[in-house]
Amino acid sequence: MAQTELTLDEALEVAARAHRVGDLPVAEALYGRILEAAPDHVGALHLYGLLEHGRGRHREALRLIRQAVEHAPGAAGLHSDLGNVLFELDRPDLAVQAYEEAIRLAPEGVAARNNLGVALRVLRLPEAAEGVYREAIAIDPKHRDAWDNLGRLLAGSGRIVEAIACHARALELEPSNAATRRHLIAAYGATGEHHKALPILQDWLREEPGSETARHLLAAISGENVPDRASDAYVANLFDAFAATFDHKLARLDYRAPELVAEAVAASQEAGTTGLAILDAGCGTGLCGPSLRPFADRLIGIDLSRKMLERAAARGCYDGLEAAELTAFLEARASAYDLVVSADTLCYFGRLDAVCRAAAAALRPGGRFVFSVEETESGDGFTLQGHGRYGHTRAYVEKVLAETGLIRLETRSAALRMERGEPVHGLVLTAMRSL
């Protein structure tokens, strides 16, 4: 029997089906063959671009989708997807233009409006973002993501009661959505209405008994079964979830921990110091990297979130990056570093003795350990706060340093960030391993 040749559109349908079910090698091969035969095939360019976007290859995705837009400039969906790729490439300004064009072409587009609101918020235009979210909700009152994003915007500006109403509506629309549950629990935590957060957490754990996020937040809200530190899974899931917007989110919060830690590092070193072996412990997207690089012969970053590490790699200032748990990593590297830096990482540790002992062992004689913690004046040394981070008393942190072989050189009080319109008070400490 003679083989029947597929038309390009039939081949695209097969490729799209493979793409939907996750058979990416087949989809990629077919998209490639279609484009070999017809380099301007809009559908193949678009879907291949989405495939690359999903893989994290955003620059290649940008090239493909831009080419699709050139051949079909009136397709609103193409502009919307172009905006999504530009946003991932840390160009929210260009993403705004793409979303606005998508809305011009399809005025009832809700997804483009919702994404436009996200980009506007990143650009620190909260009033414009709020207006766009409300437009999206007016068009589709059942758009859960728009309700959640509006709630997050309102909470960030201290309008907690309004935020609660938004997240509660989002939860009505999708009762099992983990992100919505987390937002609503956080909002209730901000108002001290823990009795309203507890049923949400209990429902969550009934449906997902293995959820590390729900278990951690239940401990934070109830004060029962508080762990000595947040689990690896909790931290990795938390930071993977917002790696793409992390830097912009922290900019909105006037996040100062990396700057404060960098100042403490500079103060602890003699002028002109170079050639150090440095570990950026919990490096995240690498915000400390540029400040540490001038001191370093070798700069290593570790973090539990692989998606954050991808962002750190893009900065180009690290000699190595590794997904690893901090204490175990330090314990395996005796006398390896002249400087260990940890900005806003130990707020996910309650007890600090193990990690400080490991840091002391990983330092060379005379090496420095510079880190930040959130400060609390309550609790027996440390407290798991309602938002899921730990606060530590000054006396406890200084006591742990003394007990783990580290000499405290300086303790500085500072506001690490703003949260819901209020400063988050912290401590920046510099300690030294004895000579």
What does the alpha-carbon distance between residue 335 and residue 279 come to, in Å, rounded to a whole number?
12
pLDDT tens for the chain, 435 residues long, are: 344 577 998 999 999 999 999 999 999 999 999 999 999 999 999 999 999 998 888 899 999 999 999 999 999 999 999 999 999 888 999 999 999 999 999 999 999 999 999 999 989 899 999 999 999 999 999 999 999 999 999 998 889 999 999 999 999 999 999 999 999 998 998 888 999 999 999 999 999 999 999 999 999 999 899 999 999 999 998 888 776 665 555 555 567 888 999 999 999 998 888 999 999 999 999 999 999 999 999 999 999 999 899 889 989 999 999 999 999 999 999 999 999 999 999 999 999 999 999 999 999 999 999 999 999 987 789 999 888 999 999 999 999 999 999 999 999 999 888 777 778 899 999 999 987
Whether 408 and 280 share a structural domain: yes
> Please, is 296 exposed, middle or buried when counting C-beta atoms within 10 Å of its C-beta (0-12, 13-18, 19+)?
buried
What does the alpha-carbon distance between residue 391 and residue 295 come to, in Å, rounded to a whole number?
30
Report pLDDT for 365: 96
How many alpha carbons lie under 13 Å from residue 11 in its C-beta half-sphere?
A: 20
Whether 154 and 261 share a structural domain: no
Q: Is 321 contained in some domain?
A: yes
What does the alpha-carbon distance between residue 151 and residue 164 come to, in Å, rounded to a whole number?
7
Question: What secondary structure letter does DSSP report for 429?
Answer: E
Q: Which residues contact 286 (CB under 8 A, 6 or more apart)?
A: 280, 301, 311, 312, 313, 314, 315, 317, 318
Whether 212 and 257 share a structural domain: no
Query: What's the one-letter identity of residue 233?
Result: A
How many alpha carbons lie under 13 Å from residue 284 in its C-beta half-sphere?
A: 21
Kindly report the CATH number assigned to the domain that includes residue 285.
3.40.50.150
- pTM of the full predicted structure? 0.82
Whether 182 and 303 share a structural domain: no
Domain boundary among 225, 251, 273: 225
Q: Is 134 contained in some domain?
A: no
> Kind and range of the H or E element at 373?
strand 363-375
Q: Is 8 contained in some domain?
A: no
Q: How many domains does the chain have?
A: 2
Q: Which domain holds residue 407?
A: 241-433
Kindly report the CATH number assigned to the domain that includes residue 184.
1.25.40.10
Q: Is 119 contained in some domain?
A: no
DSSP 299-348: EEEEES-HHHHHHHHHH---SEEEE--HHHHHHTSTT-EEEEEESS-GGG
What does the alpha-carbon distance between residue 351 and residue 200 come to, in Å, rounded to a whole number?
28
Query: What's the one-letter identity of residue 409?
Result: L
Q: Is 242 left (phi over 0), alpha (psi -120 to 50) or beta?
A: alpha
Whether 198 and 253 share a structural domain: no
**Total count of residues recorded for the chain:** 435
**Chain mean position to CA 26:** 31
> Kind and range of the H or E element at 182?
helix 178-191
The Cα-based distances of 400 to 231, 303, 320, 352, 360 in angstroms read 21, 23, 30, 7, 11
What does the alpha-carbon distance between residue 352 and residue 359 come to, in Å, rounded to a whole number?
11
Whether 265 and 324 share a structural domain: yes
What does the alpha-carbon distance between residue 196 and residue 199 come to, in Å, rounded to a whole number?
6
Whether 217 and 363 share a structural domain: no
Place of tokens 């988050």: 424
CA dihedral angle for residue 186, residue 230, residue 330, residue 401, rounded to 10 degrees: 80
What does the alpha-carbon distance between residue 284 and residue 302 come to, in Å, rounded to a whole number?
8
342-401 residue pLDDT tens: 999 999 999 999 999 999 999 999 999 999 999 998 778 999 988 899 999 999 999 999
Report pLDDT for 251: 54
Strand partners, 220: none
What does the alpha-carbon distance between residue 256 and residue 266 come to, in Å, rounded to a whole number?
15
Whether 282 and 389 share a structural domain: yes
173-191 residue pLDDT tens: 999 999 999 999 989 988 8
Report pLDDT for 240: 85
Here the tokens at position 244 are 């793409």
Query: What's the one-letter identity of residue 131?
Result: G
What does the alpha-carbon distance between residue 88 and residue 282 come to, in Å, rounded to a whole number?
22
Report pLDDT for 2: 40
Domain boundary among 225, 254, 282: 225
Q: Is 63 contained in some domain?
A: no
Report pLDDT for 252: 52
